[in-house]
Structure 1
Amino acid sequence: MDNPAPARGSDGAALPEGGTAGQGFDSSGLSGPDLARAALQAAREQSAAKRGSRGKAGPKGGLRTRRRRSGWTSAGPDERDPQPLGRLAARIAKDHGWTEHLSGGQVFARWGSLVGEEIAEHTTPLQLKDGELTVQAQSTAWATQLRLLQRQILKRIADGVGRDVVKRIKVQGPAAPSWRHGPRHISGRGPRDTYG
């Protein structure tokens, strides 16, 4: 008695015993590891048949698939290419109008490198509003020195963070100690009126 020819799927691949084209394979008579092997073999054959119909074999036995040229970018940079985080952040800041605030923040963050370590050691930037930077000096001598160096400091800041971020510098001397401690106090000069 001749063995019947194995059933074949629509793609021509042989199905495991008792299989039909619609189901992939029939699990009757198989159990455990044999069932898993049969299912795996059917999936491999089906995948190989799909790959064979898609592309032609390449020089190394691999498959070549046809690429669409319409989606390719040119050799130069493109806006669809991955972008550095700094460039994206700058674009977002510009779109939302945050550039001036970020430049002002750089003045405070880079104060030591902008004005020099010696000046930064004796001064503290307090506020930047409408192009006017308020700086507090540690002593009256340093406040005078800062007023004399104002033009050079403005140039260094412009070179470091950009033009028109800081247009003027307002220099304050050291803050006098406060005699007001606690929620209750008496108005007037306080203990200083007994000094002389």
Structure 2
Amino acid sequence: MATSKRPATAASAGRGKQAAAIREEILREWRGGDEAPDLNAGIHAAGQFITAILRSAGLQDGIQEEELRAAWKELAGDFIARHTEPQSVKGGHLVLRVTQPAMRFHLEQMKPMLLTRIREQLGGDRIQSVKFTLG
């Protein structure tokens, strides 16, 4: 006896949806409630956002404040290093905290030379400007 496959009709498709709905209802009753939502839905790997985070923090070229802080005494010399502290590096702009107005004036005069030293030590044009703040 040969079985013939009948083409799917709208009625048979409707029965399939109805059967799936019945199956879901039976499982819901058996489990005692709805199935827990997928807890991983909408979660992304942190690696997808690292580039954007580094760019917004001004670290896209790999400059880290710690790298600059570690090299600061050698770059600036003992005297200047005692009266200054690298405060932040954002978007290629270095902000140095200076202890005294006279030292700030002195550093403003030295800015081109200081910027050259920083670029030589850290490589390239990763630091584009230097700003001094009193504090």
State the TM-score, normalizing by the size of structure 1: 0.37
Cα distance, 1:100 vs. partner?
Answer: 2.4
Secondary structure class of the residue paired with 2:88: strand
Contact 2:65-2:88 at 8 Å conserved across structures: no
Aligned position for 2:100: 139
Asked if structure 2 preserves the Cα contact closer than 8 Å seen for 1:104 and 1:165, the reply is no
User: In structure 2, do the counterparts of structure 1 residues 111 and 117 end up closer, same or farther at CA, with 3 Å as the change threshold?
Assistant: same
User: Matches of 2:131 and 2:112 in 1, distance apart?
Assistant: 12
DSSP-derived class of the 1:149 partner: helix
What is the aligned partner in structure 2 of residue 161 from structure 1? 122
Q: Deviations over 1:15-70 (max 9, x none)?
A: xxxxxxxxxxxxxxxxxxxxxxxxxxxxxxxxxxxxxxxxxxxxxxxxxxxxxxxx
Structure showing greater Rg: 1
% identical aligned pairs: 25
Structure 2, unmatched stretches of 5+, are 1-50
Matched, 1:170 2:131: yes
> Structure 1 or 2: larger helix share?
2
Q: CA RMSD in A?
A: 2.0
Using structure 2 for the length normalisation, give the TM-score.
0.52
Greater relative contact order structure (CA < 8 Å, 6+ sep): 2
Give 2:86's aligned residue. Answer: 125
Unaligned runs of 5+ in 1: 1-95, 175-196
